[in-house]
Amino acid sequence: MSAPLITVQQAYKSFGTVRVLEAVDLTIKAHSIVGLVGPSGSGKSTLLRCIQGLDTLDAGGVTCRGKVGFMFQDFQLFPHMTVLQNILYAPRLKEKGAALEQRAQKVLEQLKISAKSSVFPMHLSGGQKQRVALARCLMGQPDILLCDEPTSGLDIVTTTEVVSLLQSVCALGVTMVLASHDLEFLAQIATRVVFLKEGHVVADEEPCDTSSLKERYTTIFSHKE
Amino acid sequence: MEEFFSDCVYVGRGISFTLQLLTGGFFLGITFGTVLAILRHNGICTPFVKGFVSLVRGTPLMLQMSLLYFAVLPLLNIPMEVLSTGILSFGMNSAAYVAEILRGGIESLPKGQFEAAQTLGIPRFYMWRDIILPQVVRNIFPTLINEIIALLKETALISVIGGMDIMRASQMLSAEQFSYFTPLCIAGGYYYILVLLIEKIGRKFERASHHRPAGL
């Protein structure tokens, strides 16, 4: 059995007096798509940020075997650069040449965004920005892709497109961790769902269909006085 | 009329000096100001940066220039021309203001832009040069143009240490003619034309920067 790609051990994180992660243990195997669910403030985004290294844990540890890519909820494309410049800027600092340009074109074609390569982000729709953000991550050839709310603000049609896009990315051998509120989306894509409540992992299971996932969610997170 | 034109030519002799002072002072100011703003953002030498900005903004430019030219440089036995002293004083003074303008611009950018650069593995130097500063400069451009205009008008203070700028030329002409009205009006006209030119060039750059992608 291969070693896990991501290991989180006894992770603790607080912001001031607010404890956001508490004794979180998580192992993620290669080629899986893991959904992190929970209400706002349950620690999903913080866990992703700690895995990426954007935030540091107060205690515990995170180990990632392989390159990590991070897709922000609000994409964070560079507004003064075109789509092509956005996806080429970082890789060009490490390698040059026609092969890189070809790879960029290929990624843009795969994500069906090549027609927009010379457009600035402000002229793109939410779904198109999503694709560019994904393309930018893929240009770094990550082994692990962390996505924070990948479907927030997207309509149903675009969400379905994102599902197939992420599935195609997973088919390339990329392991994904998705923090999302969108249970329908996760039911379609995730191979495993981790429920976070007030910074704790309270359930970790395989999703069935949307309705049973919603039912499970309600059972776990309903407030019983 | 002929006399008026010869007066214009006389006062106009100071334009070149004024422009040298302005460009030198501004480029020194923007360079040093950028360094100060980045240092402060990264929490490096913060007390020094804060102290420098506070001191420079808290004392008159004329005093800073006089102190440098008449006291500090002679004490240190460093010979320096009027123009170089002027550029140094104007540059340091402008740096303090530019640093604060840039700080505002940097803080107004979403934190995610820094984080996106970090997650993509972009080294800090490139992040500042190609990701952060182009966006900041675009946002603060009108304020920077204001700073250049303010600096242009402040160059008139160079006459205190004997620089032959527009103001000084008009004062010399006034002393020759025992009449202040025409020379001072001519000087005012020159300053106003220069300000209009700066505004025009600034607007052109501003428009261009909104259409031009950042260089790769």
Domains and CATH numbers, chain A: 1-67+143-149+174-225 (3.40.50.300), 68-141 (no CATH)
ipTM of the complex: 0.89
| Position B36 pLDDT exceeds 80 | yes
Which residues lie closer than 8 Å to A34 by C-beta, 6 or more apart? Answer: A28, A175, A176, A177, A178, A190, A191, A192, A193, A194
Residues A29 and A5: beta-carbon distance below 8 Å: yes
Size of interface A-B (CB pairs under 8 A): 54
Structure tokens at A150: 């990948």
- Of the pLDDT bands very low, low, confident and very high (cuts 50, 70, 90), residue B162 is confident
- The string of pLDDT tens digits covering residues B118-143 is 999 999 999 999 999 999 999 999 99
Closest alpha carbon to B152 in B12, B10, B26, B16: B26
| Position B215 pLDDT exceeds 50 | no
Beta bridge partners of A61: A9
Give contacts of B121 with chain A, Cβ < 8 Å.
90, 94, 140
Give CA–CA dist A94/A89, Å, rounded. Answer: 10
Q: What is the mean pLDDT of residues B184-204?
A: 95
Give contacts of A140 with chain B, Cβ < 8 Å.
120-121
| CATH numbers and ranges of domains, chain B | 16-164 (1.10.3720.10)
Q: What is A176-218 written as a DSSP string?
A: EEEE-S-HHHHHHH-SEEEEEETTEEEEEE----HHHHHHHHH
Shortest Cα distance from B213 to chain A (angstroms)? 5
Asked if A195 reaches chain B (Cβ–Cβ under 8 Å), the answer is no
| Position A133 pLDDT exceeds 90 | yes
123-182 in A: which are within 8 Å (CB) of B? 136, 140
Asked if A82 reaches chain B (Cβ–Cβ under 8 Å), the answer is yes
| Position B214 pLDDT exceeds 50 | no
Comparison of pLDDT for A163 and B31, the residue scoring more? B31
